[in-house]
Homo-oligomer: A and B are copies of this chain.
Amino acid sequence: MSLSSAEQDYLKAIFAITRIEHRQANTNAIAVLLKTKASSVTDMIKKLAVKKLVKYEKYKPVSLTNKGQKIATSLIRSHRLWETFLVERLEYDWSRVHSIAEQLEHIEDDELLDKLDHYLGYPKFDPHGDPIPTKEGTFPQRDETLLSQLNPGDCGTISSVLQDDESFLEALNQLNLCINQPIEYIKKIDFDQSIQLKINDHIHILSENMAKNIAIQKLP
């Protein structure tokens, strides 16, 4: 079965909402994520239900069938492998690969993905630290803590970022905050919950909101 880009985007969105953000995939949530309207979502959901890619009952949140889940996982795999390619081989900045990978991910060819995976050396995590599912659909797991939830004195390395926003990633870059960068948590500032942390022996401050979107692998 061949799916349009739009159909693929809906599957990805439902996956992201239900499996990654652990929220209910109701029409509004999907509409917000895909920057469209709830009525358009209803239309598309019906089509996907006919194709047995989602389970749908009127007025209830939708969920992916096994078939739908498989396709969504494969799209995520594609997206993350292409992001890895763009950063590691074409020397793109990690802040600028998301939108290009959005286009590349829709190219349908299982062999292409396998060859790309092989070429990149079977990476487990993409440039943002997000796990790359295997061909079989399993996601590599890791113990992560949000930077905003560390305690004074905690040390660790940045393992992933939870946003793809270009300005956010660029700003991190300027502080040398990249994946695997060691950091030490100093303290939370009472005033507005900003975070003080040490990077390469320099003290920096991050807003609470930014700290909530950075995941850390703690050192023992």
**Residues of A with Cβ closer than 8 Å to B?**
86, 89-92, 100, 103-104, 106-109, 112, 115-116, 119
Contacts and interface: CB of A to CB of B under 8 A. Distances in A.
A90 B104 contact: no
A90 B103 contact: no
Contacts of A100: 107, 109, 112
B90 A119 contact: yes
A38 to B, nearest CB: 26
A112 B87 CA distance: 11
Q: How many copies does the complex hold?
A: 2
A106 B90 CA distance: 18
B116 A90 contact: yes
A127 to B, nearest CB: 15
Contacts of A112: 86, 90, 100
A91 B86 CA distance: 18
Contacts of A107: 100, 103-104
Contacts of A115: 90-92
A135 to B, nearest CB: 16
A90 B107 CA distance: 15
A168 to B, nearest CB: 20
A115 B85 CA distance: 12
Contacts of A89: 119
A92 B118 CA distance: 12
11 contacts: A89-B119, A90-B112, A90-B116, A90-B119, A91-B119, A92-B115, A100-B107, A100-B109, A100-B112, A103-B106, A104-B104
Nearest to A97: B112
A106 B5 CA distance: 13
A41 to B, nearest CB: 23
Given A90-B116, A100-B109, A104-B107, 4 more contacts: A91-B115, A103-B106, A103-B107, A104-B104
